[in-house]
Amino acid sequence: MSQTIESLPLSEASNSTYRLITWRLMPLLLVSYIFAHLDRINIGFAKLQMSADLQFSDTVYGLGAGLFFVAYALFGVPANMVLDKLGPRRWIAFMMVTWGLLSSAMLLIESAQGFYTLRFALGVAEAGFFPGILVYLNRWFPAERRASVTALFAIAVPMAGVIGGPLSGWILEHLQGTAGMKSWQWMFLLEGLPVVLLGLLVLARLDDRVEDAHWLTEDQKHALRQALHLEEAGKQISSWRGILRNSQVWLLVAIYFAVMLAVNTLAFWMPTLIHGSGISRDSNIGLLSALPYLAGCFFMVAIGRSSDRYKERRWHLCMPILMCALGLTLTGLQPQSPLLVIVGLSIAGMGASSALPMFWQLPPAYLAGPILAPGLALISSLGSVAAFVAPYLIGWMRDNTHSASLALYLLSLVIALGGVLVLRTSAAVVNPR
């Protein structure tokens, strides 16, 4: 006769419960985030043709790409507060349907003003998604298991590059003129509409809370509630005043600024940097842009598992950030060398992909339950200002110096400083107990 959960040893019972939760929740969340990131980075592939068709300069492109994150910064906190009121299931579904429609509407762009407006609106629609999912995961997994789970969710970022690079390259090369549309217009349509269907699936399938999970036993629910309740006892910040006055929160904002510089430099400029190295065919650019993301997929999972195994957070975040700084520096050294550019971008991709989920292990160590949702959104929003700086700075530098190298060196320096700042956090607080 098979053993019940109650008769298993505690650790084995816990492992069984968390495996069940992971398999129930993560596939849908993972696919949703793949499309969320794909709808962010496909503008980098569209640039290869859209800028020529619409006569956009690199500065116009950089500003439009960055405006997404201005909206993201302004609306992240309100969006997460709505999530707390409506519940994750309904609010996440609404956001996904809205941004799927807006992303598809990018095919209608005819001017810089229209480009700016739709990118800003897309940022508003998506502002609460990533911090909302972080809040959601914190309601299901305790800190000692969260690095691996967050890495599993955040693997969507490099996976979007692995899938989106070849897919976007193929669309750009083969759908030009089909049904009277440009290939970049087809790309926005084909990568935006599936999000609408995913949003409806989230509405039907996602459970808001542990208590709503009919697929868990009462004993499993009790054990989960107990583990999460005990974790809350050691939190330091439980009010808005505490967030704004705590120096560690502002330290986290500075670190996240560096992480987002790393992630978005790759997201918005990788196709252009590869093209500048001498690779001309869109399909080849798409395939080569998948390599840094593919390396990032494996590395981030390994880092997440290592962090949970050794119950250590700071060095598991610091080293990936420094790797990204090194990789971007290498990319800038010989921008006409395809080999050095791909090697540099691969190192940077491994570092940036791993740094994103590892960073999000730190804020929940400080923020208590009632303030967790707005606290995570505040850190995400303020740190995301970097996502505006990265594309705009490189675009401005390319227009004025005809090279991205100086911008890459400057960004690498700021990213490296962010890595060093990680070691200013308290190991006693951020490492799982």
pLDDT digits (tens, 9 = 90+) for 302-361: 998 899 888 899 999 999 999 999 999 999 998 899 999 999 999 999 999 899 889 988
CA 213 vs CA 209, 230, 371: distances in Å: 7, 21, 24
What is the model's pLDDT at position 272? 82
Question: Is the per-residue pLDDT at 238 higher than 60?
Answer: no
Instruction: Determine the topology of domain 24-209+216-430 in CATH.
Output: Growth Hormone; Chain: A; (1.20.1250)
CA 194 vs CA 203, 204, 264, 432: distances in Å: 15, 16, 23, 38
Q: What is the pLDDT of residues 85-126, one digit of tens each?
A: 888 899 999 999 999 999 999 999 989 999 999 999 999 998
Separation of alpha carbons 301 and 321, rounded Å? 15
Average pLDDT on 271-280 reads 86
Banded pLDDT at 5 (limits 50, 70, 90): very low
Residue 87 neighbours by CB distance under 10 Å: 16
Banded pLDDT at 236 (limits 50, 70, 90): low
Of 236, 170, 188, which is closest to residue 428 (Cα–Cα)?
236
Question: Is the per-residue pLDDT at 3 higher than 60?
Answer: no
Separation of alpha carbons 136 and 209, rounded Å? 8
| Helical axes 338-359 vs 314-333, angle rounded to 10° | 160
Residue 208 neighbours by CB distance under 10 Å: 17
What is the model's pLDDT at position 235? 60
Residue 279 neighbours by CB distance under 10 Å: 18
What is the model's pLDDT at position 330? 94
pLDDT, greater one: 171 or 370 = 171
Instruction: Return the minimum-mean-pLDDT range out of 206-215, 367-376, 416-425.
Output: 367-376
Separation of alpha carbons 41 and 326, rounded Å? 22
Average pLDDT on 202-230 reads 87
Of 318, 6, 14, which is closest to residue 144 (Cα–Cα)?
14
Separation of alpha carbons 214 and 416, rounded Å? 46
Instruction: Return the minimum-mean-pLDDT range out of 156-160, 231-235, 312-316, 352-356.
Output: 231-235
What is the model's pLDDT at position 66? 79
What is the model's pLDDT at position 11? 45
What is the model's pLDDT at position 135? 84
**DSSP symbol at 3:** P
What is the model's pLDDT at position 12? 45
Banded pLDDT at 81 (limits 50, 70, 90): confident
Of 112, 123, 150, which is closest to residue 69 (Cα–Cα)?
123
Question: Is the per-residue pLDDT at 2 higher than 60?
Answer: no
What is the model's pLDDT at position 28? 92
Instruction: Return the minimum-mean-pLDDT range out of 29-33, 81-85, 328-332.
Output: 81-85
Please, what is the average pLDDT of the chain?
Answer: 85
